[in-house]
A = this chain, B = another copy of it.
Amino acid sequence: MLGILYKSLSIKTRNPLSKMYRTHTCGELRTTDFDKEITLSGWVQTIRKFGSITFVDLRDRYGLTQLLFSESLNEKLDANPLGREFVLQVKGKVNARSNKNANIPTGDIEILVSEFSILNRSALPPFTIQDDTDGGDDIRMKYRFLDLRRNAVKKNIELRYAVNRAARNYLHQHNFIDIETPFLIKSTPEGARDFVVPSRMNPGQFYALPQSPQTFKQLLMVSGYDRYYQIVKCFRDEDLRADRQPEFTQIDCEMAFVEQEDILQMFEGMVKYIFKEVKDLDYNLPVQRMTWEDAMWNYGNDKPDIRFDMKLTNLKFPNTIFQSRKKASEVSPAGFPNAIGIEGGTGFPVFDNAETVLAIAVPGCSDYSRKQTDELIDWVKRPQIGMGGLAFIKYNVDNTLKSSFDKFFTAEKLKSLAEKCHANPGDLILILAGKEERTRKAISDLRLYMADRLGMRNPEEFKLLWVTDFPLFEYDNESNRWVARHHPFTSPKPDHIEVMINNDPSIADADNYLQHPYANIKANAYDMVLNGNEVGGGSIRIYQRDLQEKMFAALGMSREESQHKFGFLLGAFEYGAPPHGGIAYGFDRLCAIIGGSETIRDFIAFPKNNSGRDVMMDAPSTIDDKQFDELQIKLDLK
């Protein structure tokens, strides 16, 4: 569909266009313009000859306008034949159209051409410039400048700008100030790898490109700029999983004199404002909130899609992960620490021997055929999921039950199990059993997969969620130490600061790291989840030098190392650092989801492929000897 424009983009050019090239755009002429003498410039979309007259659809950023070349122009047309994607300028008069086209805003008029001039010719494009193009992914990336002409891509780029504009307007209205932070900074690898830049003027030394402006925005809080934002490129040299880019954009924000509640309110307001401006959507629902433990317990992951229900039933789970669940499990009929909760045990070794048994009740699928259940079994056995198998119970509409493990279970036990899973007649109960971490991830993936199959994930429906109370630390078994789950600047929950200060971070018993007091320290951190995607994440920061030093030490950093890497920040905390916190949105992903897609590449004008290459310009590439020489580096290829 041509002519999509978002509320914050205007349809009319508000400035007289060049007298030389055009008086109007191809999207703006209407019946009220009848008889006007106008000039248009644009691209030839289609050419249709009917006897002695020729119709051309002329396209520009704003729309399509039909041109009518009458017989008198045939001689000139023969001498200057038009082709698809030629750049054409025409002068003519706005006419009523006999054959109206209700699909486009200019469909009531056409231009009776009096003069035309070919501004530039075009070779035959390697694929058609249409929504349903015949071009594959590779060729469209190589000719990205042509792919960008397609309306399907253009509306994504326009949507991105509309989101950008709406975010800026909201933040401006709330007194945020855009302050640019540097791109050539210091390499302080923590977590992801830095991209580095050799310094010619300081031989042997390197800048790093920022993974985020984190430390700078905190310094700005110390400087008193109490509401900062930036829509800014960030860089991470990671092995690219599908749909990751080495350079990506963040809406990066920080506030001083705030606690978590202030930030949640401010930024759910921002996203609601964006919904309104970009999609004309009134999001009047309160934004749901959920602790990390609840998310893991009920959905198996920390960014649940809550557009649909289908919560997990925790039939069996280990003692250690959900420390605060231990008590809950004693009173909840669904959760049993060490047994599946069937009187006398199940006798089914798959359940009895598993660390974890988790189930979902999929509505309306009790009539799945053998072929369909086999499909599901194959699906969970794929390497990406990695389960050994899938158990299921069909809770038929006639109230009978049929399971894949009937020989181990009496009808009564099956009924009891189905009830524990909050299943209703018509549901298909899917059960996974195995090691906690893998099984929980698998049931979470299976839940999304089933929802996709059942069309329960409407991209035009938006559900926001805050996930809070993340663990402050994660265990890194390679180095048997703690790593920061969010980043080293995140504050523990106020109640947990004592636990952090009063315990030794070193881990004596690696197998039982979850018993270490640090495992249960929660962070003053929060993620915004939109339709099952983490679109933003942030935290209240540490602003006391001693606590920050304790954090660096907890992460295994020596005093020298923390001073070398972050001495400037520790120093700044000595000169009146205010309480502060912030958030960063993944701008590419936010745009993609608002645009109804999960592919961020579609919302980036010039994306890179999965090897980090720009195939259009062929980058990266070799550099000259002179460049090596000046930078005083050389290759050291393995």
Contact = CB atoms under 8 A, between A and B. Distances in A.
B568 A184 contact: no
**Which of A161, A184, A195 is packed against the most chain B CB atoms within 10 Å?**
A184
Contacts of A622: 204-206
A543 B120 contact: yes
Nearest to A626: B189
Given A233-B183, A259-B21, A614-B186, A177 B197 contact: no
A432 to B, nearest CB: 35
B10 A202 contact: no
Contacts of A611: 201-202
A579 B209 CA distance: 36
A618 B186 contact: yes
A566 to B, nearest CB: 9
Nearest to A233: B183
B619 A579 contact: no
A39 to B, nearest CB: 10
Interface residues of A, number: 138
B605 A175 contact: no
Given A186-B614, A605-B179, A125 B575 contact: yes
Interface string A205-218: 11111000001100
A9 interface: yes
A620 B174 contact: no
A174 to B, nearest CB: 5
Nearest to A579: B119
Contacts of A179: 157, 160-161, 605
B18 A259 contact: yes
B184 A619 contact: yes
A514 to B, nearest CB: 30
Interface stretch (A219-227, A321-329, A350-358): A219-227
A308 interface: no
A583 to B, nearest CB: 15
Contacts of A576: 43, 85-87, 120-122
Nearest to A200: B237
A85 B573 CA distance: 12
Contacts of A194: 627
A476 to B, nearest CB: 16
Contacts of A215: 617
Contacts of A86: 576
A145 interface: yes
A179 B41 CA distance: 22
A637 B200 CA distance: 11
A285 interface: no
A637 B572 CA distance: 34
Given A148-B224, A568-B617, A635 B637 contact: no
Contact of A178 (B119, B164, B577): B164
A631 interface: yes
Interface in A328-386: none
B197 A197 contact: yes
**Which of A200, A606, A608, A617 is packed against the most chain B CB atoms within 10 Å?**
A617
Chain A at the B interface: SS class: loop
Contact of A612 (B199, B257, B624, B638): B199
A193 B624 CA distance: 11
A73 interface: no
A613 interface: yes
Interface string A12-34: 11110110111000000000000
A398 interface: no
B627 A189 contact: yes
A578 interface: yes
Interface in A581-629: 604-606, 608, 611-614, 616-624, 627-628
Given A14-B174, A145-B572, A223-B146, A632 B627 contact: no
Interface in A159-203: 160-161, 164-165, 168, 172-175, 177-187, 189, 193-203
Contacts of A633: 633-636
A89 to B, nearest CB: 8
A13 B604 contact: no
A491 to B, nearest CB: 13
Given A21-B259, A257-B18, A606-B216, A613 B222 contact: no
7 contacts: A43-B576, A123-B575, A158-B177, A181-B605, A196-B197, A207-B619, A207-B620
The 10 A-B residue pairs whose C-beta atoms are closest, nearest first, are A122-B576, A186-B619, A148-B223, A205-B620, A21-B257, A199-B620, A85-B576, A634-B636, A18-B262, A145-B219
Given A154-B224, A161-B179, A208-B619, 4 more contacts: A14-B174, A189-B627, A205-B620, A632-B638
